[in-house]
Structure 1
Amino acid sequence: MVPQRVIIVEDEYLVALDVEAVLQSMGVETITIATTLAQAREAAGQDVADCVLLDVSLSDGKSYDFARELRAAGIPFGFVSGYGDTTGFPEDLMHAPLLGKPFGENEIVGFVLGLVDTDRDAVKE
């Protein structure tokens, strides 16, 4: 299932634009780019996203608490980060999906589809 509403939380705008272009080519209808946690929270509050792509380190802090908010709201998310693995993440987020930077178009497509497919599988159970 291709998601229809995706929020990209990324403070490197060129990276966000690259991800946006890939999502558009997949057929995602609504893409919101947030460069800060404040913008991300505002975007998530305006419209329920099918999934959220989170950079870990943003100009106004780490995205861990926002990830927890997304989890509590039942919104699928994954970290897209320069961190190679989740060993430095808080314990409750160590098993969150992670796509390491740099990545190619096929990797981001597979990552996004995996986020929404995982959520759909969880709903079936």
Structure 2
Amino acid sequence: MASVEAFQGPRVLVVEDEYVIAWDLARSLEGLGAKVVGPVGTLDAALDLLARDGDIAGAVLDVELRGEVVFPVAAILQEKGLPFVFLSAKKRASAPAAFRDVQWFEKPAQMSKVASHILGQIKAPAAVATVAPL
């Protein structure tokens, strides 16, 4: 008898240092079927997750994390060809030229819109079919 594993939604990295925003965003992503990686609130933690987790499909990045900017994470995602969006209280003009075309959501933003946008950029993997042993 054949069975199909439950669909595993895309893994989305959430980099946000404000707990309430991170929680709200994670709930919005999960409600749309994504698996949240993190959330993490520091640049070092985000870089560590990117180095260890090869299954990240995209990311939502707060621009400023406790005084550090998230652009090194964005550069790695861009190099890997992974979609990401910025979420920030800062204006888009503060972004380096390399990231000026990336979607920018200004806080306060509706987390459901942020979640929908990033998931729309990610191609969902097909469900994996498995055959149960006889």
Instruction: Note whether the superposition's TM-score is higher than 0.5.
Output: yes
Does the 8 Å CA contact 1:54/1:78 hold for their aligned counterparts?
A: yes
Q: 1:18 to 1:73 in 2, by over 3 A?
A: same
Distance (whole Å) between structure 1 residues aligned to residue 111 and residue 70 of structure 2: 23
TM-superposed deviation, 1:87: 1.6
Distance (whole Å) between structure 2 residues aligned to residue 106 and residue 113 of structure 1: 11
Identity of aligned residues (%): 27
Distance (whole Å) between structure 2 residues aligned to residue 110 and residue 25 of structure 1: 10
Higher share in strand: 2
Asked if 1:66 is matched to 2:73, the reply is: yes
Asked if 1:33 is matched to 2:33, the reply is: no
RMSD: 2.2
Instruction: Return the index of the structure with the highest Cα Rg.
Output: 2
Distance (whole Å) between structure 2 residues aligned to residue 71 and residue 15 of structure 1: 24
Q: 1:58 to 1:30 in 2, by over 3 A?
A: closer
What secondary structure does 1:65 align onto?
Answer: helix
Question: Stretches of 4+ moved more than 2 A in 1?
Answer: none
Kindly provide the amino acid, as one letter, of the partner of residue 43 in structure 1.
L
Q: 1:3 to 1:93 in 2, by over 3 A?
A: farther
Of 68, 75, 87, the match for 1:80: 87
Unaligned runs of 5+ in 2: 1-7, 124-134
Does the 8 Å CA contact 1:3/1:50 hold for their aligned counterparts?
A: no
Does the 8 Å CA contact 2:26/2:36 hold for their aligned counterparts?
A: no
Of 55, 79, 99, the match for 1:93: 99
TM-superposed deviation, 1:58: 0.6
Residue by residue over 1:9-39, the C-alpha shift from the partner in whole angstroms, topping out at 9 and shown as x without a partner, is: 0011111011011111111134321110110
Higher share in helix: 1
Kindly provide the amino acid, as one letter, of the partner of residue 51 in structure 2.
G
Does the 8 Å CA contact 1:37/1:60 hold for their aligned counterparts?
A: no
Unaligned runs of 5+ in 1: 118-125
Q: 1:106 to 1:59 in 2, by over 3 A?
A: closer
Size of the aligned set, in residue pairs, is 117
Q: Tell me which of the two structures has the higher relative contact order, counting C-alpha pairs closer than 8 angstroms and 6 or more residues apart.
A: 2
